[in-house]
Chain A
Amino acid sequence: MPVKRRNFISVLLFSLLWGGFGIAQAQQIRVITTIPDLADITKQIGKELVDVESLTRGVEFMHAVPVKPSFVPKLNRANILVAMGLDLEISWLPALLEPASNPKIMPGQTAYIDCSTGINVLEVPKNVDRAEGDVHPKGNPHYNLDPLNGKVIARNIADGLARNYPQHKAVFEKNLAAYLSELDKAIARWQTVAAPLKGIKFVAYHSDWAYFANRFGLQQVGSIEVKPGIEPTPNHLVGLAQKMQQEKIPLIIYGPQSDRYPKQLAGQSGAAVVRLQSISGGTAETDTYVKFIEHNVKSLLAALKKS
């Protein structure tokens, strides 16, 4: 029975390898984050104490992330789950936590770190009704686009890690202080560099740029979607193109949506089109949170020059 024996040996090898891998990893805190921004910041604060992985890669549309069963074993083994909250992950995370059999990381438990704690939330709807589209009852959840909120996120992660691993609190605090000062320097730089963006009007596909606009003084004057999550009608596009021409709006920002409508509008209005993700990690230029904000500021400045 040589075949059977070979199978047996390969199974044995596999389990040994996996077991060995497990021992090597046992020293580190296994952290799963929902988006790469949070993974990067967790790495900055946990350094060699943590083994961090983000479930999304940075190219996804946050409201349409596939519910992949391959995420389930990752969540099952996680010591800590770091999430954005404000229902950003509502369409996929609860469905994955259900079979993950890891009660520690369920929302509200100590090993679940909600980064939205203490965020000044924008666009909280006064009236929650789906006639207004796929509204976020808790307000706009894309707060990571404002670098000042990056500081709040970092503080929340440091607190959350220290809550679960108090023996490493001093390390987390030290790393947090270093990261915050790095972020502060970058923020000061961005605020000078991004001065030309002040007062610039733009149209976005989906309303995920509110926090960025708020920080750097841009003004969103329309969206390609009729309402959040509702694709445009021909009438809506005609009206939007007219408005863009009249008000001489120089910018259209879109993300993981199809480029059909943004390009059509650009053709009609002469505005520049910029494709930017609302989370980091999608490309080499955005593989850390700081590089991500840098990339957003630079891309918008470059587009403004072109238009």
Chain B
Amino acid sequence: MVFSMVRAPLVAVSAVFTFLLFLSEQGLAQNTELDSLRALVKGMEQQLQQALQRIDQLEKEKNSTSVRVEQVEKSVKSTQSAAGLLNPAIGMAIDATAEQRNKTGGNFNFRSAEIGISASIDPYARGYAFFNGSGDGVEVEEAAMVTTSLPWNLQARGGRFFADFGRLAKFHPHEYSFVNTPLSLERIVGGESQADGVELSYLFPTPFFLRGTIGGYNKIGADNERVENDKSRSWSRFTYLSRLSSYFDLTDNHSVELGTSLAYTPSVRLSSDPRSGNRTMSGVDLTYRYQPLGSTLHQGLTIGAEFFGNSELEERGSGYRRMFAPGGYVYADMKLSREWSAGFLYDNAPSLSSPGKKTQSYSPFLTWKLSEFNRLRFQYTYGNDNVNESKSDSGSQFFLQWTTTLGAHSHGFANR
């Protein structure tokens, strides 16, 4: 626009000059003054020509710039769709505590930095992984494939994942309502129900939620050291699982969840003895929730309880005896406002080798959610430890926990 507006008067000026030139050639050829005028006009004509050329050039440049801008925009879009848009969702959770235990002293405990990624693989499966870095190094906590389109309400999962045993064993510790993994879960299951294997679940066509799972794994339990994870073995030395879980809405605001789990290992070879026997780990989990639909933001109550039993051969003097060790925990967590909640955890953890000896602990806790992604928690624990000779879990313990999540970090249905 600007260029053509400049151009119009220039063309007019050039026409006037050409006319003048024509006149001079006709009648005033002899005049010397005219010669100088002629020279002047010629100079101006040249300048005009140059100006016009410059305008043409600028106009060309302008067009090519807008073409370039379009090209750049296009290429940005194509790189976004090619790589950026197909990137999996990535997120991270950071979890740290400051601790004071009367038996052992204080500690700043960097508990975990957990990076999670997840995305659809193709129309048939999705994949997810959680890499956990802690004071002990970095490990693949979960990395699994899950089918998304199997018929007959079936869903299969393979790789390394948290096996479908109980409720809390499938939680990543930063998602707990309290600070620490209950000792009963730690001793009997081995912390998270991490397992390398394969699992198949079935959603029953009932009007209420009822789901069954069967699975086969090298072993269950992140801290379970009975079995080496990376050794080939006979099929009787694997762990097999079955679970049923159900959910009922009592009213719009009250609900109950009930599950039973059984993990069976036909033959566990004890490290110190060539004899082997089977191991049975069983569990019942019960969760009650009060979630007033209209005010879930600032009101609510969860009561969760799990009972575990472990039955296996244990060393007794010079021989071996089958021992059944029962244990469990129960907690309540109540929302006081959108930001604050408070609760209490009771935990009863037996010694697996002599179930009569127990570690009991009582933990009130208070949680302050600054936002959906940033949480501070204070917990006091009073322990009564009759299992460890050092009584390391006895007495008062204080914890201040700071947990944050960034990016897209979700553990989905299992950690609800």
- Contact status B412-A98, CB under 8 Å: yes
In this assembly, does A6 line the interface, its C-beta being within 8 Å of a C-beta of chain B?
no
Q: What per-residue 1/0 map shows which CB atoms of B1-38 lie under 8 Å from chain A?
A: 00000000000000000000000000000000000000
- Contact status A133-B371, CB under 8 Å: yes
- Contact status B339-A99, CB under 8 Å: no
User: Which B residues lie within 8 Å of A67 (CB)?
Assistant: 413, 416
In this assembly, does B75 line the interface, its C-beta being within 8 Å of a C-beta of chain A?
no
- Contact status A73-B150, CB under 8 Å: no
- Contact status B209-A134, CB under 8 Å: no
User: Within the complex, which residue of A72, A73, A256 is in contact with B295, where a contact is CB–CB below 8 Å?
Assistant: A256
What separation, in Å, do the CA atoms of A181 and B412 have in the docked complex? Answer: 42
Tell which of B60-68, B175-183, B218-226, B249-257 binds the partner: B249-257
Q: How many residues of A contact B (CB 8 A)?
A: 36
User: Which B residues lie within 8 Å of A282 (CB)?
Assistant: 294
User: Which A residues lie within 8 Å of B416 (CB)?
Assistant: 67, 95
User: Within the complex, which residue of A69, A96, A98 is in contact with B257, where a contact is CB–CB below 8 Å?
Assistant: A69
- Contact status B298-A258, CB under 8 Å: yes
- Contact status A256-B209, CB under 8 Å: no
Known: A98-B413, A231-B338. A57 touches B371 (CB 8 A): no
Taking CB atoms and an 8 Å cut-off, the chain B residues in 384-416 that contact chain A are 406, 410, 412-413, 416
Tell which of B44-52, B200-208, B230-238, B312-320 binds the partner: B200-208
User: Which B residues lie within 8 Å of A70 (CB)?
Assistant: 208-209, 247-249, 255
User: Which B residues lie within 8 Å of A59 (CB)?
Assistant: 293-294
A162, chain B: closest CB distance, angstroms: 24
In this assembly, does A61 line the interface, its C-beta being within 8 Å of a C-beta of chain B?
yes
- Contact status B296-A60, CB under 8 Å: yes
Interface class of chain A by DSSP: loop
User: Which B residues lie within 8 Å of A103 (CB)?
Assistant: 123, 148-149
What separation, in Å, do the CA atoms of A65 and B296 have in the docked complex? Answer: 8
- Contact status B153-A76, CB under 8 Å: yes
- Contact status A94-B412, CB under 8 Å: yes
What separation, in Å, do the CA atoms of A256 and B252 have in the docked complex? Answer: 16
- Contact status A99-B155, CB under 8 Å: yes
What separation, in Å, do the CA atoms of A251 and B373 have in the docked complex? Answer: 31
In this assembly, does A20 line the interface, its C-beta being within 8 Å of a C-beta of chain B?
no
In this assembly, does B280 line the interface, its C-beta being within 8 Å of a C-beta of chain A?
no
What separation, in Å, do the CA atoms of A73 and B146 have in the docked complex? Answer: 19
What separation, in Å, do the CA atoms of A16 and B199 have in the docked complex? Answer: 32
- Contact status B207-A18, CB under 8 Å: yes
- Contact status B154-A68, CB under 8 Å: no
User: Which B residues lie within 8 Å of A57 (CB)?
Assistant: 252, 293
Closest to A76 in B: B203
User: Within the complex, which residue of B148, B207, B338 is in contact with A257, where a contact is CB–CB below 8 Å?
Assistant: B338
What separation, in Å, do the CA atoms of A231 and B196 have in the docked complex? Answer: 42
- Can you list 23 A-B pairs with a CB-CB distance of less than 8 A? A56-B293, A60-B293, A60-B294, A65-B296, A66-B293, A67-B416, A68-B255, A70-B208, A73-B208, A73-B209, A76-B153, A76-B205, A95-B410, A95-B416, A99-B155, A99-B203, A99-B413, A101-B155, A106-B148, A134-B372, A230-B370, A230-B371, A256-B295
Known: A94-B410, A258-B338. 18 other contacts (CB 8 A): A60-B294, A64-B296, A65-B296, A73-B205, A73-B206, A73-B207, A94-B412, A96-B413, A98-B412, A98-B413, A101-B203, A229-B371, A229-B372, A230-B370, A230-B371, A256-B296, A256-B297, A257-B297
